Structure 1
């Protein structure tokens, strides 16, 4: 399967000196679902920011390496151009517009693709509400009054509304009850399966991510230390000890 996203030997520094990523290499196949795993501070969010062109807003820069999307070098392409190419980044913390309604938050996605106007929305509401029926019931509610889980659904739904070609989601389960987090990952898996949308998720909850993703990379101290298909990673004893408290896949409840 051809790669939609290819990262080769990527190194990132902050403040001109502090090394955040070193030699990171990974691929996301077209229509694939890949998880980038690791503890807090491992460099996972930095990887997504490098891909989506957000590093410069935080005094970060790519020191070496290349990022290619569908064969095109996008290593230093500005974030607004990447969004128009269909690379959508759901950032950690959800970033919904609290004083705007659910519908207005969704419509804001049209600006990310450089498009605007109600005629372009068409069936996009129905697609989002198909995957996130809770949002249909709250469509006219202000986003600030939604629960944490609903806000995460809205953040992902807004990216979906923009008709992405590559969807990147940073810490989808953060701060959510296990049941809600599992529901969101199940929906991401459904979206991937039905739309064959390429998805890259960053996640600390290794078990949850690997139940949905097809392939995973483990990032530690800015370097990829392990990779493999989801079943293989779940079965590795050292990964289980570090992230799952020693629990094996066949002993989970």
Structure 2
């Protein structure tokens, strides 16, 4: 007797759902994350008209198909073409969760030079802001002496996340939307087509695009509970 359907029904009755697991950084410090979230929310609520805050990070999408889920008729399969492309984009960009402003640029590599260039793009994006606060992780190039020297005469003020806290960087959610909209189950014969689709998403300012980001990304920081040993 097959008891599998009965077991599944019982699990549903008990409040369980079959879903993807959540990756948990092994070095997560819940106290540090909670303190950062509290301080950030207080800070963000007190921004002046000539101030703004963005979240910044890099992404490295590879020119190859990423298979994803789709609605497929029972008993059928859905084939999608793939390629063996190894080229990738090296995106560095920023996202404003309150205005849904988004910008990203492709670089040969993400380093101190690319970071400064992105900061320059950010200042050009907000010419009338006296202070631009940038939430970033602790990547080595953000603390490079050349970057630090450049920031001394800049309107940009970095806010460093706690270590092992990608869940607190809202642009990570933007990258997830990008994967869903432009990469998952999408076949691009040429790398140039792939790159164009990626950059189009990252530099779109239409009301429809902003509405998608507003709904999918939100403004609130999400805390993670520490994994059980």
TM-score between both structures, scaled by the size of structure 1: 0.26
Larger Rg: 2
* TM-score, normalising length: structure 2: 0.28
Whichever structure has more strand as a proportion of its residues is: 1
